[in-house]
Amino acid sequence: MAEARRMGKSELFSHFADRFEMKRTQAREYFDELTTLCEKELKRSGEFVLPGMVKLVVQKRKARMGRNPATGEPIKIPAKTVVKARIVKQLKDAVLPRK
């Protein structure tokens, strides 16, 4: 079975440029601005929502004990801050098969 190919950035910009009759550079500028806005909002409020698609949330993880999978030896995993993506229900329902 052939492996599915994902859409790259230049293909994404070309799609939006064609769809909305603009230059690719202008489409790229919109995505750059969206990225900048996303970063600002995550720093300011800890979350960013792209309506109908995804909600990005900053989450603090506590330090914990884990195991080295190769040796089985206990290791300390330090606390860290991560960004989690939560896909909105309507998109999940549209993409994932129903049980």
- pLDDT digit string, tens, across residues 19-45: 999 999 999 999 999 999 999 999 999
* Residue type present at position 59: Q
pTM more than 0.85:
no
- pLDDT digit string, tens, across residues 7-22: 999 999 999 999 999 9
Cα-based angle 39, 29, 5 (whole degrees, multiple of 5): 85
Question: Tell me, what's the pLDDT at 74?
Answer: 95
Indicate whether 1 pLDDT > 80: no
The domain segmentation of the chain, as residue ranges, is 8-45, 46-99
- pLDDT digit string, tens, across residues 50-74: 999 999 999 999 999 999 999 999 9
Domain 46-99: give its CATH superfamily.
IHF-like DNA-binding proteins (4.10.520.10)
Element (H, E) at 31: helix 24-45
